[in-house]
Chain A
Amino acid sequence: MSTSSEAVADSNANETHLDIETLFRAHYGRVARIITRAVRDRARSEELAVEVFLKLWRNHKAQSENVEGWLYRVAVRTGLDELRRQTRQGHYERMLAWFQPPSPAATPEDIHSVSQKQAKVRSVLSILERRQAQFLLLRSHDFTYQEVASILNMNPASIGTLVSRAEESFRKEYIKRYGHE
């Protein structure tokens, strides 16, 4: 938080690209990891993460508000948009081949099992309401309710209820599709 505050404070005196680069160094990793939760292809996630910062650079209004919240909000949205796009194209099965093994030690069975789980979760997320999917992705990334409210510009008092509803929707849809696996 302090890094981004410094970067924004510097924006009044320094050139914008310095601020963006400072923000980039501070938040790029987290932004990319958020997007990766929705998008299986890590290289694609990194590309989308760069585009999030490019959007920030072009959006002067965003630079003057809660930059950190804006970045994560756009990251979640970008990840979900990409997920829905991929779902629409019906390339899910083919994209399994793109999956990169998490570690050289993983056995083919492990990889298959993990990718199957990911595919199921992502397919459910892709059909949930956008707002509910946003809640779940942010919560899965260990953001607190307070932080989720700040990122999504919502009243913190209502976040708990909304997240519970999102979890319930996810549970119902998952069980409907895959049973109690």
Chain B
Amino acid sequence: MDTNSSSRSDGWVDQRLAALDPGAEWQPDVTAGLLRLRELRVRRNWISGRWLLAATGALGFCICLMALPSPKVLAHRCLECSVAVWQSLLPSAPAQSGLKPPSGRSLAPDFNLKDASGKDVKLADLKGKVVLVNFWATWCEGCQVEIPWFVEFQKEYASRGLVVIGISMDDDGWKSVKPWIQEKKVNYPIVIGNEGLGKQYGLVGMPLTALVDRKGRIGDVHHGIVEKTATQQKIRELLQESFKDSAN
């Protein structure tokens, strides 16, 4: 460094600043400092390496979630279940106020699917009956809450003209569904649905329940877990409508 050739204004400030001089007797420990520097560098390298590894891992995980079918389905299912549970918990959950008036009902999308025994289940063939169409899946927690109610409805109202049809949306079809319906002793026909049919009924999340009147028209659609008493009431009302009345 150059020698100091500049003059100072006066010594007053210098005198005070001189108090900050640590003194010649104090010498920073270079060896200890160097060791500390090496240690910090190793630590920083290690941390950087770990961050890189973690970021790569997270990226790989995200790619797996987005690309592989099973995690995607799993994520979709989690989302649907969450929606269903929230719908059932919220006080303003979409409990339907009542059935649509017969004049405002539209024709239910028809389907012809096979049940577990291979027998055709065609909606159009059930004209004259009140049909409860329930979209469900074995993995859907909300569905498992309401299916026992449908079993009860089937027992109680079958003689008066109610038919419950369960449309499973399980991806692996009968492989999951058959053991499940045997275990749960489901007493109504179950068929395997498809995405197209779900769309026709406005299926966005499981479960979905549609009530079809005797004329084959949709009297009510409920997204999420149904309210048992309200559904029972609607079924009774639909059953009370004669074929002739509902034709209006």
Contact = CB atoms under 8 A, between A and B. Distances in A.
A97 interface: no
Interface in B1-55: 1-6, 8-9, 12-14, 16-23, 25-30, 32-34, 36-37, 40-41, 44
Contacts of B17: 37, 121, 136-137, 139-140
Contacts of A53: 37
Contacts of A167: 9, 13
A24 B34 contact: yes
B36 to A, nearest CB: 5
Given A28-B33, A33-B28, A140 B18 contact: yes
Nearest to B20: A37
A58 interface: yes
B20 A121 contact: yes
Interface residues of A, number: 48
Contacts of B28: 28-29, 32-33, 42, 45-46, 49
Given A29-B28, A42-B22, A50-B33, A144 B5 contact: yes
Residue from A17, A50, A117, A144 having most chain B Cβ neighbours under 10 A: A50
Nearest to A119: B19
A121 B40 contact: no
Contacts of A58: 44
Interface string A133-149: 00011011011111100
Nearest to B32: A46
A121 B59 CA distance: 53
A29 B34 CA distance: 11
Interface string A7-41: 00000000001001100110011001100111000
Given A103-B25, A121-B20, A167-B9, A25 B30 contact: yes
14 contacts: A28-B33, A29-B28, A33-B22, A37-B22, A42-B28, A45-B28, A50-B36, A102-B23, A120-B16, A136-B17, A139-B8, A139-B17, A143-B1, A170-B16
Interface of B: 1-6, 8-9, 12-14, 16-23, 25-30, 32-34, 36-37, 40-41, 44
Interface of A: 1, 17, 20-21, 24-25, 28-29, 32-33, 36-38, 42, 45-47, 49-51, 53-54, 57-58, 102-103, 114, 117-118, 120-122, 136-137, 139-140, 142-147, 160, 164, 167, 170-171, 174
